Amino acid sequence: MATYYVGVDVGGTTVKLGLFSDTGQLLEKWEIPTRTEEEGKYILTDIVDSIEEKRAERGGNIKGIGMGIPGPMTDDGVVLKCANFGWGVFSVKNTLADLTGVGNVKVGNDANVAALGEMWKGSGRGHDSIVMVTLGTGVGGGIIQKGKVLTGSTGAGGEIGHIKVEFNNPVTCGCGNKGCLEQYASATGIVRMAKESLREDSVLAACENITAKDVFDGAKAGDVYCREIVERFGRYLGIALSNVAHVVDPEAFVIGGGVSAAGPIITDVVEKYYNENAMYALKDKEFHLAELGNDAGIYGAVRMVLF
């Protein structure tokens, strides 16, 4: 009888699911909505129903389920609150195992799981120690050391977005602190920087709603002001990643998330400032753009239960 493995990436509005063969081939992927009402009580049952439906269609057995969650997770699959879903502290792993009868279940933080996915099937291929940073509305981080996710003692390992990078007039972050990387390297942060000191001589002056893409497009087209913002972005991220390297000394960095769609302009500028700030032994690490996009989560999730 055919055996399958499922990778699940639970986001704030949609759940992405992937059905994989026992050799790690993606057979099919689909999405369901994330029902956050009533303190997120339907989220896991909806996922379990959807997996069972897919299994029944195909016949065969589900041998393992891996899942990424946007909140701090312990190594043994306990979520330590997930504000987006209204979840408190409970074992997602045990709940999922009980609901499905599948014994091989692993649950991790979504940023860490995405990093594992990029290492397995994306631009981190061939490495076993990488740092992935995801630049979207916020800044997420995932650290893989010797093939394993570094979760930390309370699930807050790899919280790169909240490393403090600005000490002079730092901007207040959603986390309550000031000067966090997230305020300078996320899409939101780039737009804020661009608006703050906007100059008449920039192409951005004519934009109605400035986006991070406008800033990178402007810089590529030679706009001096846009280039300045890109340099500021690169300096902040380069400094933060050099901090990270002095701690975990990875083989490579992978940069993903919506902002990374701007392309090599991102890795070029980050690498420049990284090398300015890293000590000799840590210079010249590899910098890659992520390759898997939104699929990194399902790949990383299933990787935790495969092999």
Cα 179 → chain centroid: 20
Pick the stretch among 18-26, 27-35, 46-54, 155-163 that binds a copy of itself (CB under 8 A). 155-163
Cα 169 → chain centroid: 28
Which tokens hold the place of 200? Answer: 């008449």
Using CB under 8 A as the binding rule, whether residue 239 contacts a copy of itself is answered as: yes
Using CB under 8 A as the binding rule, whether residue 246 contacts a copy of itself is answered as: yes
Using CB under 8 A as the binding rule, whether residue 176 contacts a copy of itself is answered as: yes
Exactly one of 89, 175, 205, 221 binds a copy of itself (CB under 8 A); that residue is 175
90: which strand partners?
79
Question: In terms of CB distance, is 141 or 218 closer to a copy of itself?
Answer: 141
Per-position x/- string for 116-135, each x denoting binding to a copy of itself as judged by CB under 8 A, each - no binding = -------------x------
Pick the stretch among 3-11, 21-29, 52-60, 151-159 that binds a copy of itself (CB under 8 A). 151-159
- How many other C-beta atoms can be found within 10 angstroms of the C-beta atom of residue 174? 13
Largest Cα–Cα separation, the chain: 67
Using CB under 8 A as the binding rule, whether residue 95 contacts a copy of itself is answered as: no
- Contacts with 180 (C-beta within 8 Å, 6 or more apart), sequence order: 161, 162, 163, 164, 165, 173
Q: In the complex, what is the shortest distance from the CB of residue 22 to a copy of itself, in angstroms, rounded to a whole number?
A: 29
**Do 77 and 92 contact (CB within 8 A), yes or no?**
yes
**CA geometry: angle 294, 28, 58, nearest 5 deg:** 150
Using CB under 8 A as the binding rule, whether residue 164 contacts a copy of itself is answered as: yes
Query: DSSP letters along 73-97, please?
Result: B-TTSEEEEEGGGTEEEEEHHHHHH
Q: How many residues bind a copy of itself (CB under 8 A)?
A: 42
Question: In terms of CB distance, is 51 or 278 closer to a copy of itself?
Answer: 278
Using CB under 8 A as the binding rule, whether residue 160 contacts a copy of itself is answered as: yes
Exactly one of 9, 118, 159, 214 binds a copy of itself (CB under 8 A); that residue is 159
Using CB under 8 A as the binding rule, whether residue 110 contacts a copy of itself is answered as: no
Query: Is residue 189 classed as helix, strand or coil in its secondary structure?
Result: helix
The C-alpha atoms of residue 197 and residue 272 are separated, in whole angstroms, by: 24
Q: In the complex, what is the shortest distance from the CB of residue 173 to a copy of itself, in angstroms, rounded to a whole number?
A: 8
Identify how many contiguous H helices and E strands the chain contains and give both numbers: 10, 12
Q: In the complex, what is the shortest distance from the CB of residue 226 to a copy of itself, in angstroms, rounded to a whole number?
A: 23
Query: What residues make contact with a copy of itself under the rule CB under 8 A?
Result: 72, 75, 129, 143, 145-146, 150-160, 162-164, 167, 175-177, 180, 239, 242-251, 277-282
